[in-house]
Structure 1
Amino acid sequence: MDKELHQQNGDGQVRQGDTARQEDSGTAERFSRSGFIFAAIGSSVGLGNMWKFPYITGQYGGAAFFLLFTICLLLIGLPVLMAELTVGRGGRGSASSSLVRLSGRKIWGGFGVLSIAGAFFITSFYTVVAGWTLHYAVLTSANALGKGTDFAATFFSFIGGWWPVAWQAAVMLITGWIVVRGASGIEKFNRILIPALLVILIIIMIRVLQLPGASEGVSFFLKPDFGKLTNESLLVALGHAFFSLSLGMGTMMTYGAYVDRRQSLGAATLAVGGGDLMYALLAGMIIFPTTFAFGIEPAQGPGLAFIGLPAAFSAMPLGWLFGGLFFVLLAIAALTSVVSLLEVPVAYAMERWRLSRSTATVSTTVLCFLFGLPSALSVGGAVGWLHWEGKSFFDWVDFIASNIILPLGGLMVTLFVGYAWKHAAQEAGLTAGWFRLWLFLLRYVAPVLIVLVFLHTSGIWSF
């Protein structure tokens, strides 16, 4: 990196000529200001908002946990999010090269590759679940899941066959078709689907709030029960605040490289965090009224989405319509996240091996699909025997990526911006007071909390 980039004038700002040189380095792709907000919200809004967040909120005290989650979002989520965006815009490269350009040391690039690997692994199994949502969107919309269906048997029969591979391939094709168009394609995709996601959420929420017994679900979700807050609930809130914003996997560093230099990173960070909270809250206002109205246990994960809720929708008037909308909702949430995940290794491949975007996208898409095949077939399918210590291949890839690589990637970013990068202030564009607070959180608060989350989620230490 040119020495001039580190030189400042008397008022502490980078000189105009140096900014121009930095603007010309790295990728030439750019998001518009609003387009970046849509893309970043699309990355953060995923399947976890739809089924995990409502479940853990109800389990750990309803509104009390929501308040705790919001605090954790402010203390760890948003500071790390802004750190990733700042590194990306400052380095104007992949999640690896940006760190090298800003530090001048190749070792940081190795840490960046770890985050890129995490994004690759998550893409490989996340596309499998995204394929399930597409399959159920078609089934439900066609009214093929009628009342009286054995929904558990239907689901396990589906994931035990070969159809998940076909739907996984469909997700990969859609995602690759979007990513190959670069930042402009990703922006246009999210500009359409994120507002559509909001509209569908509101339509379904209005419908389920009219169900008998729905008010009990709303009360369970929003009534604070501070007696359920424990040390474990704190770590769960910290972990979800971290993971719900797509941190530690290189997505926000990669997207940051496409952010216009005139865009306020502070305002963008708050907008993304607010969008993540809003979508999670609306999801809870759908899940709990529905489960309480039909006496369904709000179990975490696929059991709720693919067994419990289809049963509920099949029992309500026009259930095929609202059930179809719900699975379209899940499919949109999954696709917007997969697009951001795939962009991470694609951007790295383009830069590392000097590939065109089309070549990098096709090769990365094929590799992700092939690596994801055992995940698609290990959950009761043809390679269901791929189990070790009670976990399938799918579970192990999820565990390694989500519980080990992501926290380490997030820790790396906090240490880099907090200690190694001496010129973060200029790129962040914060006032002196806000910068000192941000730096304090990155140096002394976020690393400790991330380590605690890592110890908890990895199973090394039970609290």
Structure 2
Amino acid sequence: MGEKRASFGGKLSAILVAAGSAIGLGSIWRFPYVAGENGGAAFLLLYLLCVFVVGIPVMLAEFSIGRKSQQSSVGAVRVLAPKWSWLGYFGVAGALLISGYYYIVSGWSLEYIVTSLTGSLYSSPESFAEQFSAFQASPRQIIYMILFVLLTHFIIARGVEKGIEAASKVMMPLLFIILLIMAVRVAFMPGAIEGYRFFLTPDFSALFNSQTILLAVGQAFFSLSLGMGCMVVYASYFKPSNNLTGTAMSVSLLTLMVAVLAGLVIFPAVFSAGLEPTEGPSLIFITLPEIFKDMPFASLWSFIFFILLALAALSSTISFHEVLTTYFTEEFKLSRRASVYLTSFLSAALCLIAIVFKFDINFASLHLENISFFDIFDYVTANILLPVGGLLSCIFTAWYLKPSFLRGELTNYGEFKGRAFPLLLFLLRFVSPLLIVYIMLANLNII
């Protein structure tokens, strides 16, 4: 393969980098509002189940493919089975489409960092909803999106060790520290107990709602960076001595901790202010500033929270930027520098399309107004590309490849005992695929 492939420094580095990909807006921005709209703790229980029954097995499948092949998401599958090389393009497509809206939301966090720092977020005569709408209609949304692309570009351009690994070692501990500080602060707010009850008391009727189940599976994929090639590419930088099972468990545990901590920050604060926890993405950018307003040092707490959001976003944009960068480098034989620039350009271009173009859909009984490419990119990736990518990874790893391949990778070829391997193989062969297929059919209203 020519030049020696870069690798992460050690086991902790591998965990922090993979966790950085998994812990993103899916845990902090998406999880609270999806949970709030779908039964609170009932959604949390379904999410936990999906992570352990579907998320971890699929992550291990992707880890195994990536480390064994030492290639991009497309090249990885080609090395193991040339006839299946098309499977890798699901990861590339997923990473590309997510780039088409993720940088936009990430840029929102930069706007709120700046307005919190300057104090204009709280000195403006406009309501927070009006400020948010005005920002989305202004050129600043494009400027901050481009700034976030450039920030990601700078880190990726520094390479695997000096860029991705070094950034993750700083961002992940800082993210946890900020979350813990915020969780302790909101615990002392009046009425916070109602938020804990909402979040921790399950509505069991929601457990049998197909839409809630669908969202839980989608959230598990979204928050663990599965189905888009991120874990395949990152695992290609793992050392042969890395314990894949231990890494997957650690990454999943850290992701769950962040998701729960985010809920323990958001819901008590929302209930303390007497607001509704079901306000969609605006929960973060409208409701939380409203809550911070009544706290001492409002601008400081707001600044800290949106730094947290930006860190979570950056850890994810780094991962799918790297998926595309390695694809262009290895498939088209471009230099890494050229691949980084190409990926950044495509990401910014897709985001511009998502921001600018809106249209109506009138087809048969389907009538939707003011639909944007932002909505389409979000829906297609979270509900179709990521689950399908995970489904195909299950089939490829558990059915097409010999069990000895997966067992060898997970036990480091005899270094570990692998007692749980039969259970993992069963989950990958039957439980995970069947659950994903069920969710896909339910999403398409076929069942």
Q: TM-score, normalised by structure 1?
A: 0.89
Deviation at 1:462, TM superposition (A): 6.6
Measured in 2, the distance between the counterparts of 1:67 and 1:406 equals 21
Given the superposition, is the C-alpha separation of residues 204 and 462 from structure 1 closer, same or farther in structure 2, using an over 3 Å criterion?
A: farther
The residue aligned with 2:86 is: 110
> 1:390-449 deviations in whole A, cap 9, x for unaligned?
321211122222222212211111111011122222122163532221111111111111
Matched, 1:266 2:245: yes
Q: What is the percent sequence identity of the aligned residues?
A: 39
The residue aligned with 2:445 is: 461
Matched, 1:195 2:181: no
The residue aligned with 2:21 is: 43
Measured in 1, the distance between the counterparts of 2:393 and 2:44 equals 26
Q: Which amino acid aligns with 1:425?
A: R
Measured in 1, the distance between the counterparts of 2:417 and 2:68 equals 17
Given the superposition, is the C-alpha separation of residues 225 and 399 from structure 1 closer, same or farther in structure 2, using an over 3 Å criterion?
A: closer
Matched, 1:427 2:409: yes
Deviation at 1:317, TM superposition (A): 1.3
Query: Contact 2:37–2:277 (CA<8 Å) still a contact in 1?
Result: no
Look up the SS of the partner of 1:229 in the other structure.
Answer: helix
> 1:363-398 deviations in whole A, cap 9, x for unaligned?
111121112111133xxxxx4x44433321211122
Given the superposition, is the C-alpha separation of residues 61 and 397 from structure 1 closer, same or farther in structure 2, using an over 3 Å criterion?
A: closer
Deviation at 1:225, TM superposition (A): 3.4
> 1:233-290 deviations in whole A, cap 9, x for unaligned?
3333222222210100000001010011101001000000000000001100110011
Measured in 1, the distance between the counterparts of 2:28 and 2:95 equals 20
Q: Which moved more, 1:41-50 or 1:292-301?
A: 292-301
The residue aligned with 1:408 is: 388
Given the superposition, is the C-alpha separation of residues 98 and 300 from structure 1 closer, same or farther in structure 2, using an over 3 Å criterion?
A: farther
The 5 A counterparts of 1:85-104 are: 85-103=63-81
How many residues align? The count is 430
Matched, 1:332 2:334: no
Q: Which amino acid aligns with 2:141?
A: P
The residue aligned with 1:244 is: 223
Measured in 2, the distance between the counterparts of 1:150 and 1:260 equals 52
Given the superposition, is the C-alpha separation of residues 262 and 354 from structure 1 closer, same or farther in structure 2, using an over 3 Å criterion?
A: same
Query: Contact 1:124–1:368 (CA<8 Å) still a contact in 2?
Result: yes
Given the superposition, is the C-alpha separation of residues 324 and 424 from structure 1 closer, same or farther in structure 2, using an over 3 Å criterion?
A: same
Look up the SS of the partner of 2:121 in the other structure.
Answer: coil
Given the superposition, is the C-alpha separation of residues 312 and 242 from structure 1 closer, same or farther in structure 2, using an over 3 Å criterion?
A: same
Measured in 2, the distance between the counterparts of 1:149 and 1:203 equals 29
The residue aligned with 2:149 is: 172
The residue aligned with 1:5 is: none
Matched, 1:136 2:115: no
Measured in 2, the distance between the counterparts of 1:455 and 1:61 equals 22
Matched, 1:217 2:203: no
The residue aligned with 1:15 is: none
Deviation at 1:140, TM superposition (A): 1.3
- Structure 1: which 5+ residue stretches go unaligned? 1-23, 378-382
The residue aligned with 1:436 is: 422
Matched, 1:418 2:398: yes
Measured in 2, the distance between the counterparts of 1:229 and 1:121 equals 30
Q: Which amino acid aligns with 2:54?
A: I
Q: Which moved more, 1:34-43 or 1:368-377?
A: 368-377
The residue aligned with 1:21 is: none
The residue aligned with 2:128 is: 151
The residue aligned with 2:140 is: 163
Given the superposition, is the C-alpha separation of residues 300 and 453 from structure 1 closer, same or farther in structure 2, using an over 3 Å criterion?
A: farther
Query: Contact 2:33–2:283 (CA<8 Å) still a contact in 1?
Result: no
Measured in 2, the distance between the counterparts of 1:87 and 1:26 equals 20
RMSD, aligned α-carbons: 1.8
Look up the SS of the partner of 2:73 in the other structure.
Answer: coil
The residue aligned with 1:380 is: none
Matched, 1:445 2:427: no
The residue aligned with 1:376 is: 355
Measured in 2, the distance between the counterparts of 1:261 and 1:115 equals 23
Measured in 2, the distance between the counterparts of 1:369 and 1:227 equals 42
Look up the SS of the partner of 1:145 in the other structure.
Answer: helix
Look up the SS of the partner of 1:433 in the other structure.
Answer: coil
Q: TM-score, normalised by structure 2?
A: 0.92
